Chain A
Amino acid sequence: MNSTRFSCRLSTWLCVFGLTIFATSLTAKPTIPTHDSQVLEVLPATLADRRARELRILRNALAATPTNLALATQLAGEYIEIGRTTGDPRYGGYAESVLSPWWNQAKPPPEVLLLRAQLRQRAHQFASALADLDQLLGAQPRDPRARLQRATIRQVTGDYAGARADCAALKPQVSALLVTHCQALVMSVTGDLAAAYTMLNAAVMAADGLTPVTAAWVLTSLGEMAERSDRAELADQHFRAALSLTPDDQYLLMAYADFLLAQGRAIEVVRLVEPHLRVDGLLLRYGLALQATGAPAAPAVVRQLAARFAANAARQESAHKREEARFVLELANEPVRALELARENWAVQKEPADLRILLACARRAGSPEALALAQDWLTQTGLEDRALTRR
């Protein structure tokens, strides 16, 4: 009777074993498709037909005269904008190529400087982006685009005095709302969160004729501020209002997904980000949401994310350490490695989300040193964020 029990267990084991081997042996290998009609790749269809045609015309015109500055900056600007809205990094490479006649110059034309700074900022090369903007503002101190961009980089990197100065210098050139937004963002991370929210909310009420993009941008900031002051209902309203204006904005989707995750509304995150899983940051939120709901699909997403981070690492790309740290901490469960990534990220940028991940990693990895680093920043700046003090 013992032997039948044993052979019964044995066969179960063997079945499980066999199935696992079968399932994992189906991994991809290069193949030759069998039918001509088989679709191998769907090209990005984000561009409307007319815009795609305009791009093609521009591209062909530039191919004939590659050193035509006006054409080159126009096309590069288009590529950068498409890259921003879709989150597709290939467009950054296209833009850089278009600017290649000037790219390595020490003193390129101002238009090129501005675009180069944008591309460098996107690659999180903040120091070189700032150098470009310094050079540009040195020659054209009243350039509002350069000023606004420098304010943003200074704020992201924690240079609040510098950011304040740039916001103030914006005044005559741009709308009152943009100036207020610039100032409110700095105030909101330097101990004046409540005042910043009130000021920005009043300004957006008073403003009229806003473009949807600008309005959504400001509403997103309001949502984040409300979230940090633990006013969940209000934050939800702002985020939803912003989403109704720009439903595909990557930054907004990430901010709202994070808010929903923190509120324990993971199921909603699944639906929110499902159409956008090409973007690593959004696939990450999707995986976190699946994990929170206990969905059996979570491990599959974890594998996909691991493959993507590995692919980025293979080309020695390090722009998204914050996201990677979060992946490693919350989905791969390796606090020590996550802390390493979070610290490297913290050395580069200092937004509230950067501090959140640093603190979370420091707590999980049990590093008093990293905890002190985060705590020092909190006391030094007066940053208010309920997510940081709750746990």
Chain B
Amino acid sequence: MRKRGIRDLPSALLLLWLLGWAPAALAHKASDSYLTLDVTAGKFNGQWDIALRDLDFALGLDRDQDQRITWGEVRTQHQAIASYALSHLQLSTQGQVCPSQVTAQLIDTHTDGAYAVVRFRADCPPAMTDFTLDYRLFFDLDAQHKGLLRLLTPGGTRTAILGSNHPRQRFEFGHANWRNDFRQYLELGAWHIWTGFDHLLFLFSLLLPCVLARVAGTWQPAPNLRASLGDIAKVVTAFTLAHSLTLSLATLEIVSLPSRLVESAIAASVVLAACNNLFPITRDGRWLLAFIFGLVHGFGFAGVLSDLGLAPRALLSALVAFNVGVELGQLALVSVFIPLVWRLRAGLFYRRLIMGGGSFAIAVIALIWFSERAFLMKLL
């Protein structure tokens, strides 16, 4: 059997291959538009991504017919695009059409190519409790075209698909209750830190040695409660500041990291924190560890929040509520933890079994998590 080696690759290709380059190939895909409607009290803010290729099929954007659509060709036909788009989409309530107008036009890419991003607003009566969406884009040209709708309301996000055989859909919404929402996210945050063993084990690994002192290569009980409390406060504060920072950055979509990376890094941080108790590399720098890896844990918290699919308007209050919930949950745990370890710290049970054996066990568990998350192995 012939086995070809890497030598057979042309050198240019080989270079790209070595650099980890992958062609950003566009897909062949059936026609979709992506419509996002953000509605509060009758005011709609819409963003509608429509494939340039489809617009060309309908309007002939490619004026010079060189099979290339340039920004100039799109820009000069903004008027035509705007009126074509809005004449194929109607928002109405109680039989009354809500007037709409385009506010901006931009460009974005999806898996199958470049899209015109049409931003628009529509004004319905503020007291409306339902509305009807009538979607007719491209159905006369492409019966398999679909409009993929994301509807953002104060009460949450809904999705719907509009097709040529069901172009009209009616949506109802009740009235959102802000106080109720806030409490829900608060509970969610507290619950997440209580049940998120990786966050807990990380924090505990860093807090375990706070009530001990390193004397001549062995752990001895710390003599001074105030110094220990100061230590604990430093670690907890650093962890809190760091994860709040990245939680906010990620939730506000200023920074985003792939979840596999985040989850693996969280597991790795637990391994490191536990190992630091067995073979200390830093004693006074634990707060620094807490800060640096706290950044990673914040991304993990953000993953929980983003999985809920929040409306941008509800985002800030949800973020604050969730974060406060996390801190309250954490505080509650630490306030139980401190008196317990302070009392136990003098005995060998604590220094050997909890500090040594416990840290070792944590490191092993976290290592298993790490391999599962980083290499997608199934170990537990």
Interface residues of A (CB under 8 A from B): 2-3, 5-6, 9-10, 13-14, 17, 20-21, 24-25, 27-33, 35-45, 86-90, 92-94, 96-97, 100, 103, 232, 263-265, 267-268, 270-271, 274, 277-280, 283, 290, 293, 295-298, 300-301, 304, 307-308, 311-312, 314-317, 333-334
A90 nearest in chain B by CB position:
B31
One of B181-189, B195-203, B280-288 contacting the partner: B280-288
Further contacts, 15 of them, CB under 8 A, given A278-B25, A314-B32: A24-B258, A25-B256, A28-B109, A30-B117, A41-B113, A90-B30, A90-B31, A93-B31, A96-B143, A103-B143, A271-B9, A280-B28, A304-B22, A311-B27, A314-B161
The answer to whether A267 touches B28, judged by C-beta atoms less than 8 angstroms apart, is no
B292 at interface by CB-CB < 8 Å: yes
**B5-49 contacts to A (CB < 8 Å):** 5-6, 8-9, 13, 16-32, 47, 49
CA distance A296 to B69 in the complex (A): 33
Which of A24, A32, A45, A300 is B256 in contact with, Cβ under 8 Å? Answer: A24
A315 nearest in chain B by CB position:
B146
The answer to whether A267 touches B161, judged by C-beta atoms less than 8 angstroms apart, is no
The answer to whether A10 touches B288, judged by C-beta atoms less than 8 angstroms apart, is yes
CA distance A126 to B198 in the complex (A): 49
B255 at interface by CB-CB < 8 Å: yes
Contacts of B285 in A (CB 8 A): 3, 6
CA distance A333 to B260 in the complex (A): 13
Contacts of B140 in A (CB 8 A): 97, 100
The answer to whether A317 touches B17, judged by C-beta atoms less than 8 angstroms apart, is no
**Complex A-B: 20 CB contacts under 8 Å:** A6-B282, A24-B256, A30-B106, A31-B107, A39-B68, A40-B71, A41-B68, A42-B67, A93-B142, A93-B144, A96-B143, A97-B139, A264-B3, A265-B3, A283-B25, A295-B20, A296-B18, A297-B17, A304-B111, A315-B146
B116 nearest in chain A by CB position:
A40
CA distance A333 to B2 in the complex (A): 28
B327 at interface by CB-CB < 8 Å: no
The answer to whether A296 touches B25, judged by C-beta atoms less than 8 angstroms apart, is no
B243 at interface by CB-CB < 8 Å: no
Contacts of B261 in A (CB 8 A): 20
Interface residues of B (CB under 8 A from A): 1-6, 8-9, 13, 16-32, 47, 49, 52-54, 56-57, 62, 67-72, 74-75, 106-114, 117, 139-146, 148, 161, 254-258, 261, 280-282, 285, 288, 292, 295-296, 376
The answer to whether B70 touches A40, judged by C-beta atoms less than 8 angstroms apart, is yes
User: A33-B71, A86-B28, A267-B5 in contact; A315/B20 too (CB < 8 A)?
Assistant: no
The answer to whether A311 touches B29, judged by C-beta atoms less than 8 angstroms apart, is yes
Which of A13, A36, A89 is B70 in contact with, Cβ under 8 Å? Answer: A36
Contacts of B376 in A (CB 8 A): 333-334
The answer to whether A97 touches B111, judged by C-beta atoms less than 8 angstroms apart, is no
The answer to whether A6 touches B3, judged by C-beta atoms less than 8 angstroms apart, is no
User: A89-B28, A280-B27 in contact; A25/B255 too (CB < 8 A)?
Assistant: yes
State the 9 A-B residue pairs at the shortest beta-carbon distance, nearest first.
A36-B72, A93-B144, A277-B25, A296-B20, A300-B22, A93-B142, A297-B22, A96-B143, A33-B71
The answer to whether A33 touches B67, judged by C-beta atoms less than 8 angstroms apart, is no
CA distance A41 to B27 in the complex (A): 13
CA distance A36 to B254 in the complex (A): 29
The answer to whether B257 touches A21, judged by C-beta atoms less than 8 angstroms apart, is yes
The answer to whether A96 touches B144, judged by C-beta atoms less than 8 angstroms apart, is yes
CA distance A298 to B48 in the complex (A): 32
Which of A32, A89, A277, A293 is B29 in contact with, Cβ under 8 Å? Answer: A89
Contacts of A25 in B (CB 8 A): 254-256
The answer to whether A93 touches B113, judged by C-beta atoms less than 8 angstroms apart, is no
Contacts of A6 in B (CB 8 A): 281-282, 285
Which of B4, B31, B141, B145 is A268 in contact with, Cβ under 8 Å? Answer: B4
The answer to whether B4 touches A265, judged by C-beta atoms less than 8 angstroms apart, is yes
The answer to whether A312 touches B29, judged by C-beta atoms less than 8 angstroms apart, is yes
The answer to whether A41 touches B144, judged by C-beta atoms less than 8 angstroms apart, is no
The answer to whether A43 touches B62, judged by C-beta atoms less than 8 angstroms apart, is yes
Contacts of A312 in B (CB 8 A): 29-30
A87 nearest in chain B by CB position:
B28
The answer to whether A41 touches B21, judged by C-beta atoms less than 8 angstroms apart, is no
The answer to whether A297 touches B21, judged by C-beta atoms less than 8 angstroms apart, is yes
Contacts of B106 in A (CB 8 A): 30-32
Contacts of A283 in B (CB 8 A): 25, 27
User: A3-B282, A41-B113, A267-B6 in contact; A308/B71 too (CB < 8 A)?
Assistant: no
The answer to whether B142 touches A263, judged by C-beta atoms less than 8 angstroms apart, is no
The answer to whether B281 touches A2, judged by C-beta atoms less than 8 angstroms apart, is yes
Which of A28, A31, A35, A94 is B141 in contact with, Cβ under 8 Å? Answer: A94
